[in-house]
Amino acid sequence: MIKTIMFDLDGTLVHYDYDAFVRTYLEAVGRKVAHLLDPRRFVQKLLAATEAMIASVDHTRTNMEVFWEHFPDGLGIAVEVLTPSLDEFYLQDFPQIQDVLGVTPLPAARHTVEKLLSNDYEVVIATNPVFPAIAIEERMRWGGIDGLPYHLVTTYETSCYCKPNVEYYAEILQKLGRSPEECIMIGNNTCEDLVAGDLGIKTYLVEDCLLDIGPFRREPDYRGTFADLVQFLESFGSVG
Ligand SMILES: [Mg+2]
């Protein structure tokens, strides 16, 4: 019996072109620190530290710890000089990406999550925890699904694994005290999201913003458009 619904965020509950988002984000953050160092070097280091974070399967270190272990190395300036600009970026500049990309909430998204919560399902935002909480909460705001009593939102401060490592999903199960059979993972990425199925978690592929370009792929148990998903979840009654 399903008790926990795990939603991917980007391209699943909030729809936009993810490549355009990454491009816009990297340009904007590079611009923000351009008075301190070469933006190209900054972005190169940012991506390399992110790769290290994704590769790490050390359960004793959070993604944030792995990131900051790699990022300063060879940067050419002290981290303390850089961090105020990064903090300001997430507060002031990152929110503006919503308008650049023209992201608007999916009308049914908030209603669907609220209904699941009121029917006593546990709802998890299982977004790849490569970003700080502030940047994840901001993207939830773009999708109009912020401020709800989620059981867990995976962030780089609190997660020790990233997608597509299957350990990412095992860590969620462990935090919630759930077995795979009690959970369903809903996402738009045939690699990062559907790999949850390797543990026995049921999977639903949302095809509106389908990403099928990962290093491997899995077949979902269910698939459909976001509208199909809403209908699929409508059939979920109360837990109990
Ligand atoms: Mg996604």
Q: Give tens-digit pLDDT for 110-152.
A: 999 999 999 999 999 999 999 999 999 999 999 999 999 999 9
Gap from CA of 76 to ligand 1 centroid (Å): 33
Is residue 239 one of the residues assigned to a domain?
no
Same domain for 194 and 124: yes
Same domain for 158 and 213: yes
Per the confidence metrics, is the pTM higher than 0.75? yes
Gap from CA of 189 to ligand 1 centroid (Å): 6
Same domain for 88 and 139: no
Residue in the block written with tokens 């999201």: 193
Gap from CA of 187 to ligand 1 centroid (Å): 6
| Mean local confidence (pLDDT), 73-99 | 95
| Mean local confidence (pLDDT), 162-182 | 98
Gap from CA of 209 to ligand 1 centroid (Å): 8
Q: Report whether 163 contacts 195 (CB < 8 A).
A: yes
Same domain for 230 and 138: yes
Tokens representing residue 81 in the block = 């000089």
Q: Give tens-digit pLDDT for 18-62.
A: 999 999 999 999 999 999 999 999 999 999 999 999 999 999 999
Q: How many CB atoms lie within 10 A of CB 209?
A: 16
Tokens representing residue 90 in the block = 């997430």
Same domain for 226 and 140: yes
Same domain for 110 and 88: no
Looking at 37, 67, 99, which one is the last position of a domain? 99
Looking at 52, 73, 99, which one is the last position of a domain? 99
Is residue 68 one of the residues assigned to a domain?
yes
Residue in the block written with tokens 């095992």: 170
Same domain for 197 and 133: yes
> What percentage of the chain carries pLDDT values higher than 90?
95
Same domain for 117 and 51: no
What is the domain extent for residue 35?
A: 19-99
Closest CA to 97 of 41, 160, 17: 17
Q: Rounded distance, CA 229 to CA 17, Å?
A: 20
Gap from CA of 119 to ligand 1 centroid (Å): 25
| Mean local confidence (pLDDT), 170-192 | 98
Please tell me the total count of domains within the chain: 2
SS3 percent helix, strand, coil of the chain, rounded to 5, is 50, 10, 40
Q: Report whether 11 contacts 188 (CB < 8 A).
A: yes
Same domain for 200 and 88: no
pLDDT for residue 240: 60
Question: What are 202's strand-pairing partners?
Answer: 184
Gap from CA of 146 to ligand 1 centroid (Å): 17
Q: Rounded distance, CA 229 to CA 4, Å?
A: 15
Residue in the block written with tokens 């984000």: 25
Same domain for 227 and 149: yes
Looking at 69, 99, 129, which one is the last position of a domain? 99
CATH at residue 130: 3.40.50.1000
> What percentage of the chain carries pLDDT values higher than 70?
100
Same domain for 112 and 11: yes
Q: Rounded distance, CA 188 to CA 10, Å?
A: 8
Give the pLDDT band of residue 184 (cuts 50, 70, 90): very high
Tokens representing residue 24 in the block = 């816009």
Gap from CA of 8 to ligand 1 centroid (Å): 5
The three-class DSSP label of residue 147 is coil
Same domain for 146 and 55: no
